[in-house]
Amino acid sequence: MFILRKPTGKASQQTVNKRTFYSLILSLSLAGALPLLSSADEGMYLFSNPPLRQVKERYGIDLSQQWLDHAMHAAVRFNNGGSGGFISPDGLVITNHHIADEFLAKLSTPDNDLIANGFLAKDRSQELKAPGLELNCLQNIEDVTELVNNGIAEGDSFAEANKKRSANIEKIEREASQKSGLRCDVVTLYQGGQYHLYKYKKYTDVRLVWAPEQDAAFFGGDADNFEYPRTSLDAAMFRVYENGKPLNSQNYFKISPEGTSENEAVFVIGHPGRTNRLETLAQVEYTRDRILPYRLARCRTMEAAYLQFAERSAENARRANNNIRSVANTRKASTGMFQGLCSKEIMERKAAQEKSLRDRVSDQTPWQTIASAYQDFDTNYDACMLLENADAFPSPLFSMARHIVRLAQEREDKKYHLKEYAPNKLESLKLRLFADSPMYADVEKTALNAGFSFLAERLGPDSPDAALVLQGKTPLDRAAELVDNCTLFDPAVRRRVAEMSLADLEKYQDPMIRLALTVDARSRELRKVFEDQLSAPSTAAYAQISRERFAIEKDSVPPDATFTLRMSYGKVKGYQNDGREEPWRTTIGDMFTRAAEHKNIAPYNLPQSWQKAENRLNKDLPIVFVATSDTIGGNSGSPVINKDGLMVGLNFDRNQFGMVRNFVYDEQKARHISVSAPAIVEALEKIYGADSLVKEIRR
């Protein structure tokens, strides 16, 4: 059961919860405008402030505290950016195939491509430990707003206020972790209007149980990604172990044998990533004009490099598969967002939202401050993204080298203190840093060559930053030099090097470590510019806007998404598009029909396992359905449940009209897309012969 407490202390402005600079800049200003909510199914609600009244008024459903507590404790968060849920009392977890594919790739070999071939553990002895995978299960929530703002004086500068909040947050997280033994994260809501302490049970022994072939999970490929109607089985299963035994998961979602039906109310329980709906108009325009074009340019560079690499051989294609899918997904999602923000109607709607608040506020300074902050920071945007956000270094080898260097700096000099290396964060960081995951030199060279080329294109090959990285060499030669002589492929070496002093690291003859050392001072300089020019003034301005908003509407509007557990609601419903009715569901039979229409040619080729089982399957069974519930990226793998708490589906996508949901909600055509839960069971039983899993799920 969640606990919402309000400790004593002095309250004041706000802070930013730092992740990467990409998410920082996109999510920095989430509290600017007053949303014009209607009776639509908008909102990603906190479990500490659930939409009981809205659900009752719209659907006539009374959600009990028992229902909420059960849903909260049955949901899980994947540390690679997805959601999931327990579905049996023995620690069985379900999520999307595209969330699992990172670990399928790590567990694959040249002789057994688990992404292409799929995987099934016939018994628990065959389950494969997923390297570097951490799952989090929320235990409770505390309001720590006053503690976070404690000690901040009215006369403090922007930088001083941010520094005090950061220190308070680290102390709260550290003390809570030590006391509870849980993972404890302070989450910024309403951009400083509230701060909540989320306490998670953390699981790191997570093992792969089942995944279908990619041709079934990603049927239709990139052509169908973010499209509808579509058919696919985007699902996979893991099992959580504790002390070497399957977890006794007391809270889990039972799968509905009947699934869902048209117009039924459904609830999505998951971890939406980042939304930007409460931004000022100036920030929305900056996102449209600067952030998304930059992101799209980088995606195209990386996608072209990976595709060219993959075309050279089947083994290359296997090695690059996960990279290609990841960057293509980002490219297509970003394209949808950009197109949405090119809409005059959407921009006018954002302007009206802002005006509705500003007309009630006498002091217009915060909006002017935010606009000026983005203008001031703009000249440093590319360099900050490329160096400090590491967009120029798209390689796990560099990421590892940077962590090793900064861990040494953290141990020896507190002036280098960075939030991501706080004591309570180190265990999770080291789990991924030391994971025994395959890395391929040819893939790393391809990625770094593309990253270095993008750096030179954006800043100019003769710019000081490009020169610092390239050291007078071509991007191709510099990438080869770094990768060919890198020692960090071996996790045992990484463990040893991570214990070195900074002085020893400076003598260590590894070119990737030396690169991390070489660019670190400049990267930190850019980070400070970001904090001083953009973060500090904007956070202060948004704190003032938050206070004005709360004075008008309190917390009746849910905060923007923060990759923490939320609940959204809606109904199963099709929509009209270009004069035609798009159905609320597609069937297993539709999947076979589409394969036949495309002569079973990729990306509409069904695996042999499906073709052999065709006559045994219930082709009238829905395989995919759409609903109005409010979801975005991060919701992938979210259980979709009904009023009785039964799982009816597994969220995996949005349609093209839902791409702009990061900025505005629309119910007319925007839909989230889910795999039907009964179809997953049907496939397990009749295609994959997973009788023991089916028995476990049906208990």
Q: What is the pLDDT of residues 134-185, one digit of tens each?
A: 999 999 999 999 999 999 998 888 888 888 988 999 999 999 999 999 999 9
The CA radius of gyration of the chain, in Å to the nearest whole number, is 25
Alpha carbon distance 591, 537 (integer Å): 53
pLDDT tops 90 at residue 125 = yes
Rounded to the nearest 5°, which phi and psi values hold at 229? -70, 150
- Report the percent of the chain where pLDDT is more than 90: 83
Which residues are paired to 582 by β-bridges? 575
- Residues 483-496 have a mean pLDDT of 98
Tell me the DSSP string of 521-536.
HHHHHHHHHIIIIIIH
pLDDT, average across residues 186-192: 85
| 45-46/194-203 β-pairing | unpaired
pLDDT score of 40 more than 70: yes
Segment 476-492 mean pLDDT: 98
Residue 73 has pLDDT above 80, yes or no: yes
What is the maximum span of the chain, computed from C-alpha positions, in angstroms? 75
Contacts of residue 313, defined as CB under 8 A and 6 or more positions apart, other chains included, come to none
pTM higher than 0.75 for the full model?
Answer: yes
Cα dihedral 73, 75, 79, 81 in deg (nearest 10): -150
In this prediction, residue 235 carries a pLDDT of: 98
Q: Buried (b) or exposed (e) across 567-589, using 16+ Cβ within 10 A?
A: bbbbbbbbbeeeeeebbbbbbbb
**pLDDT at 277 > cutoff 90:** no
Q: Look at 334 and 549; give whichever has higher pLDDT.
A: 334
Number of H helices, E strands in the chain: 28, 21
Residue 416's pLDDT band, with cuts at 50, 70 and 90, is low
CA distance 483 to 510: 10
Structure confidence at residue 24 (pLDDT): 44
Q: How far apart are CA 574 and CA 484, in angstroms?
A: 53
Measure the CA–CA gap between 49 and 51, rounded to whole angstroms. 7
Beta carbons of 271 and 76 less than 8 angstroms apart: no
Q: Which pLDDT belongs to residue 555? A: 67
Evaluate the omega torsion of the peptide bond into residue 50 and state whether it is cis, within 30 degrees of 0.
Answer: no
Helix (H) or strand (E) holding 205: strand 205-211
Is residue 55 a contact partner of residue 608, using CB atoms and an 8 Å limit? no
Alpha-carbon distance of 99 to 227, in angstroms, equals: 19
Q: Classify residue 597 by burial, with Cβ atoms within 10 Å: 0-12, 13-18, 19+.
A: exposed
Residue/partner pairs of 324-333 with CB below 8 Å, 24 or more apart: 325/98, 325/101, 325/218, 327/299, 327/302, 327/303, 328/222, 328/225, 328/299, 328/303, 329/98, 329/225, 330/295, 330/299, 331/296, 331/299, 331/300, 331/303, 332/222, 332/225, 332/226, 333/226, 333/633, 333/659
Nearest by Cα to 573 from 120, 261, 199 = 261
Average pLDDT, the chain: 92
Q: Token pair of 20, please? A: 């990467």
Q: Are 152 and 10 in contact (CB under 8 A)?
A: yes
Answer left, alpha or beta for residue 131, where phi above 0 means left and psi between -120 and 50 means alpha: beta
Residue 275 contacts residue 661 (beta carbons within 8 Å): yes
Residues 608-645 pLDDT 10s: 999 999 999 999 999 999 999 999 999 999 999 999 99
Sorting pLDDT into bands at 50, 70 and 90, what band is 14? Answer: very low
Q: Which two tokens stand for residue 312?
A: 């050279």
Round to whole Å and give the CA distance between 437 and 491: 8
Distance CA 486, CA 402 (A): 13
Q: What is the mean pLDDT of residues 498-513?
A: 97
HSE (side-chain half, CA atoms, 13 Å) at 555: 17
Q: What is the DSSP string of 570-635?
A: EEB--EEETTEEEPSEEEHHHHHHHHHHTTT-TTS---HHHHHTGGGS-TTSEEEEEE-----TT-
Query: How many Å apart are CA 640 and CA 646, to the nearest integer?
Result: 8
* Distance from C-alpha of 27 to C-alpha of 275, rounded to nearest angstrom: 7
Distance CA 140, CA 616 (A): 45
In a 3-state reduction of DSSP, which class is residue 78?
A: strand
- In this structure, the number of other CB atoms found within 10 A of the CB of residue 289 comes to 13
Name the least confident of 126-130, 314-318, 418-422, 602-606: 418-422
Which candidate, 188, 154, 158, places its Cα nearest to that of 11?
A: 154
Dump pLDDT digits (tens) for 553-584: 776 778 889 999 999 999 999 999 999 999 99
Q: What is the DSSP string of 384-397?
A: IIIIIS-TT---HH
Q: Give dist(CA 34, CA 37) in Å, integer.
A: 9
Residue ranges covered by each domain of the chain:
279-359
pLDDT band at 5 (very low <50, low <70, confident <90, very high): very low
164-173 in b/e burial notation, b at 16+ Cβ within 10 A? bbbebbbebb
User: Checking phi first, is residue 405 left (phi over 0); if not, alpha (psi -120 to 50) or beta?
Assistant: alpha
CB count in 10 Å sphere of residue 191 = 29
- Strands of the 639-641 sheet, one edge to the other: 45-46, 566-571, 265-270, 639-641, 647-654, 672-676, 622-627, 585-587
φ, ψ of residue 228 to 5 degrees: the values are: -160, 145
